Chain A
């Protein structure tokens, strides 16, 4: 079970293939922002780094910017350019 002190980070499509997983957990730090989550993921998954400039981010199912604050229990998603329809 994921600890409530954690945040969940989800990957989709090509990002999921490159990361080798659809999701991971990070420990939520004090005053953590989306940009910090991105940096931590880039450090942990160096193969993802080249793509992270071109991904959008979502917090609990809504698009959000890099300055958005992250709290324990949140779900952050890295959204590669979409191609539905």
Chain B
């Protein structure tokens, strides 16, 4: 089973890629800090309908080594704009059922505006550049890798 865990040297960033269920309560607890008045938790969950098509389940695959490097880079970018104290990011891999959590991002910051903005930035950028891919298992029995902009086979 694939599992990767990264802790920054001063313990203000945790990144995890896992095939087991995400414990978002533990992730949220880990970013709490007495210097902070705000903790934001974002969960991305498996949706049943996409543009009218019905999903049965998803499978996620990652280029693990690069995904962790790219997530570190994005958190560094976010910290140039907002004073994020602690950040925790967990992405689920392998098979996921409807409603399960695919990604959890927890951020703490002295004030809420920075925590909201930093979390939104991270989620938006993750969708653009982190080498993780989703395979749709549609309810009609077909499967499809989601590669926006790819030529159709």
Bits for B95-113, please: 1 = Cβ < 8 Å to A, else 0: 0000000110000000000
B49 within 8 A of partner (CB): no
Taking a contact as CB atoms under 8 Å apart, the answer to whether A12 and B61 are in contact is yes
Residues of chain A at interface, number, CB under 8 A: 21
Q: Which A positions have Cβ atoms within 8 angstroms of B?
A: 10, 12-14, 17-18, 50-51, 54, 58, 61-63, 77, 79-85
Chain A contact residues, majority secondary structure: mixed
Taking a contact as CB atoms under 8 Å apart, the answer to whether B127 and A84 are in contact is yes
B134 within 8 A of partner (CB): yes
Q: Which B positions have Cβ atoms within 8 angstroms of A?
A: 44, 60-63, 65-67, 69-70, 91, 102-103, 123, 126-135, 145-151, 153
Query: Within the complex, what minimum Cβ distance (angstroms) separates A40 from chain B?
Result: 20
Q: How far is the CA of A69 from the CA of B129 in the complex (A)?
A: 22
Taking a contact as CB atoms under 8 Å apart, the answer to whether B131 and A79 are in contact is yes
Taking a contact as CB atoms under 8 Å apart, the answer to whether A81 and B127 are in contact is no
Contacts of A10 in B (CB 8 A): 63
Looking at the complex, which one of A54, A63, A77 makes contact with B151 (CB distance below 8 Å)?
A54
Taking a contact as CB atoms under 8 Å apart, the answer to whether A82 and B151 are in contact is no
Q: Given the known A-B contacts A62-B69, A79-B63, A79-B131, are A85 and B103 also in contact in the complex, defined by CB atoms under 8 Å?
A: yes
Q: How far is the CA of A58 from the CA of B130 in the complex (A)?
A: 12
Taking a contact as CB atoms under 8 Å apart, the answer to whether A85 and B131 are in contact is no
Taking a contact as CB atoms under 8 Å apart, the answer to whether B129 and A82 are in contact is yes
